[in-house]
Chain A
């Protein structure tokens, strides 16, 4: 059956609300407006005000309230309208949600799920085009999920809600209308492991989230030219499934990481470092990265395209690496 990423997210939240009386959705415009990306359209009518809580413009406040509610026994799904506004909530996310378990000697954990739309590519300019998932993955105590497929959009939330720790889900805005054929009977698989989406021999391409469809496209283009590329969907940036990456690189001996974050201090840098530390002698060529260029994202379409890795960039980078 065919399903869009948006429908999948919607399905997952609806299931959670139906199946667990402790779950509620809180965030800006999740109710009357229907979600700023229409993910929770009509939920207010279906579930009522207790379950669908329209919050004022108070990211730090309602994130803190969600954390407290989780400590008090509920299972909040906190929606931060977009990743850009999560900066206003960072203190609660990091200093409290992430650290509480450790600071309390393992007594308290914070079972919240915090969802937010991430990424650039829609000509929204600098303040609305950030990709903070790699940055947040720096912090021990949180788990970072980055669904890049419809199946993951459909099932990651359920695993996140079952986890006793704070889980952040970064949903890519460009993927919302993305439609994929999915198996209706499939029940999902643990999101905390990477997945090899395409097997190949000569190079490993590791990526996640919004960069996934264009990476897949690049791999198919190259396949037609006789190249065999292995594509890994990281799916979860923390805890990182390092094993899957190392296994693949041991086979292909080449690695390209495509990451929508800025290059300096990027998540791609982390993966590159780990590969270097652990299996340097398996490499036939230096690890390469394709990242966001080091500018705030501009409005003009051609400039924005140039700032964020595109399919063509991935294709030429791989060709260069295989030359």
Chain B
């Protein structure tokens, strides 16, 4: 990988981190309301995977999807405006933090029902295959989704019908307060894929270079074999599940151990020590990111609230569109 690519990965992880930190701040200032799920600690996964994704590709994600939306090309401005519930939001203020969408960027949400995006991603990939379109389909979900029946239904059909797509399980060890060991009799998640004859691999989700390398391999497999592939990313969220979560179910010491593997700290130190990036350029990068995010907040503040007269719009799409 060339140096520019590494810097690009670092930059994107920093963008996500900063956006999430600001969201937390804006939440305490009551600018953002509702449920807010942050991705802090897990940045390497979306950053690495989506660095290999093109604008024509399909991406499906969960309610913890700010990073995925941003890295699929939705602007920080329209993401922020969405969280403010304003008309310039990427879902016109109808969705909020959990329902970011973009038809143009082929970002399909933003699903707040655990596992509900999984069959839809299989369907998107099936459509691309039938229509002979060369687009990849990437489906993100948490390890909690593996307990849902529709996960098994979807993997079975994807494998049976040879539908090429990449399943990305973001295993951060907790589904709200329920640890993986307390919810699954079989905690080796690779087996959940292989029982359906889907090839699978585990990835250190705290190491962005490993994420890129293994995702690249997976995407090559999918494109050559015309079959699905499953990646389990071992990662950890540094923040509570949502802003409502008192975080009572895990030891602080566990969190501290994982924080030592912070995907951003470790990667930036390594880029600094190998002189791929200088202290100065890193500082400049952070300034650039700060500007992007502050502009996004200003944009969201200025964006209008939709008139309540428009309330019943968008329930149906008018025929002919």
- Tell me how far the C-beta of A136 lies from the nearest C-beta in chain B, rounded to whole angstroms: 15
User: Could you say which residues of chain A place their CB within 8 Å of the CB of B128?
Assistant: 72
Given contacts A104-B103, A105-B95, contact A64 B123 (CB under 8 A): yes
Which one of A71, A102, A106, A164 lies within 8 Å of B123 (CB-CB)?
A: A71
A62 to B131, CA, bound (A): 19
Contacts of A138-155 to chain B: CB distance below 8 A: 140-141, 143
Nearest residue (CB) in A for B318 is: A164
Write the B114-127 contact mask toward A (1 if CB under 8 angstroms, else 0): 00101111111111
Across-interface contacts of A96 in B (CB, < 8 A): 111, 113, 116, 120
> CA–CA, A60 to B109, complex, Å?
19
- A103 contacts the other chain (Cβ, under 8 Å)? yes
Within 8 A of A (CB), among B44-103: 58, 89-95, 99, 101-103
- Selecting from B7-15, B146-154, B269-277, the interface stretch reads B146-154
CB of A58 within 8 Å of the partner chain: yes
- Residues of chain A within 8 A (CB-CB) of B111 are 96
B321 touches A72 (CB 8 A): no
A140 to chain B: closest residue by CB: B315
Smallest beta-carbon distance B154→chain A, Å: 5
Interface residue? A56 (CB, 8 A): yes
A residues less than 8 Å from B127 (CB atoms): 68-74
A104 to B82, CA, bound (A): 10
Q: CB distance A105 to B102 under 8 Å?
A: no
Q: How far is the CB of A243 from chain B (nearest CB, A)?
A: 18
Nearest A residue to B111 via CB reads A96
**Inter-subunit contact A62/B314 (CB<8 Å):** no
Contact B153 A104 (CB under 8 A): no
B154 contacts A65, C-beta separation under 8 Å? yes
Task: Output the least CB separation between B162 and chain A (Å).
Answer: 12
Residues on B with C-beta less than 8 A from A3 are: none
- Using a CB-CB cutoff of 8 Å, which residues 80-105 of chain A contact chain B? 91-92, 95-96, 100-105
Q: How far is the CA of A109 from the CA of B157 in the complex (A)?
A: 24
Total residue contacts A-B, CB cutoff 8 A: 157
CB within 8 A of A73: which of B125, B131, B154, B321? Answer: B131
CB-defined contacts of B121 to chain A, threshold 8 Å: 68
- A101, B315: Cβ atoms closer than 8 Å: yes
Report the minimum CB–CB distance from A7 to chain B (whole Å).
Answer: 28
Which of A60, A64, A95, A162 lies at the interface centre, i.e. has the most chain B CB atoms within 10 A of its CB? A64
Min CB gap B79→A, angstroms:
13
Of the four ranges (under 10, 10 to 19, 20 to 34, 35 or more), the interface on chain B belongs to 35 or more
Asked if residues B314 and A101 are in contact (CB atoms below 8 Å), the reply is yes
**Complex Cα gap A224–B58 (Å):** 63
B149 touching A65 by the CB < 8 A rule? no
Task: Flag if A103 contacts B119 (CB, 8 Å).
Answer: no
CA distance in complex: A60, B90 (Å): 28
The answer to the question of A277 belonging to the interface, with a C-beta cut-off of 8 Å to chain B, is no
- A188 touches B (CB below 8 Å): no
- Chain B residues with CB under 8 Å of A56's CB are 153, 156-157, 160
Verify A69–B124 contact, CB threshold 8 A.
yes
Cβ of B252 within 8 Å of any chain A Cβ, yes or no, is no
Q: B283 within 8 Å of A by Cβ?
A: no
B 192-214 binary contact with A (CB < 8 Å = 1; else 0): 00000000000000000000000
Cβ B314 vs Cβ A106 within 8 A: yes
Q: Tell me if A63 is interfacial: C-beta within 8 Å of chain B.
A: yes
Residues from chain B with Cβ under 8 Å of A67 in the complex? 119-120, 123
Which residues in chain A, 96-129, are within 8 Å of chain B measured between CB atoms?
Answer: 96, 100-109
Q: Mark B230-241, 1 if CB is under 8 A from A, else 0.
A: 000000000000
A108–B89 CA distance with the chains assembled, in angstroms: 15
Tell me how far the C-beta of A250 lies from the nearest C-beta in chain B, rounded to whole angstroms: 26
Contact present for B124 and A71 (CB under 8 Å)? yes
Instruction: Tell me the bound Cα distance from A105 to B95 in angstroms.
Output: 8
Q: Across the interface, do B154 and A61 meet the contact criterion of CB distance under 8 Å?
A: yes
Given contacts A106-B92, A163-B319, contact A60 B314 (CB under 8 A): no
Query: Is there an interface contact between A65 and B108, defined as CB atoms closer than 8 Å?
Result: no
- B260 in contact (CB, < 8 A): no
State whether B94 touches A105 (Cβ < 8 A): yes
Residues of B within 8 A of A100 (CB): 109
Among residues of B, the one whose C-beta sits closest to the C-beta of A70 is B123
CA distance A68 to B60 in the complex (A): 10
List, sorted by A's number, 22 A–B pairs whose CB atoms are closer than 8 Å.
A56-B157, A56-B160, A61-B157, A62-B119, A65-B119, A66-B123, A68-B120, A68-B123, A68-B124, A68-B127, A72-B58, A74-B126, A92-B120, A95-B116, A96-B111, A100-B109, A101-B316, A103-B110, A104-B110, A107-B91, A107-B102, A108-B103
Contacts A91-B116, A104-B101, A106-B313 known; 8 new A-B pairs at CB < 8 A: A64-B118, A67-B119, A68-B125, A71-B123, A72-B128, A104-B95, A105-B91, A108-B108
Residues of B within 8 A of A (CB): 58, 89-95, 99, 101-103, 108-111, 113, 116, 118-128, 130-131, 149-150, 153-154, 156-157, 160-161, 313-319, 321
Instruction: List the 3 closest pairs (A to B, CB-CB), nearest first.
Output: A68-B123, A72-B127, A64-B119
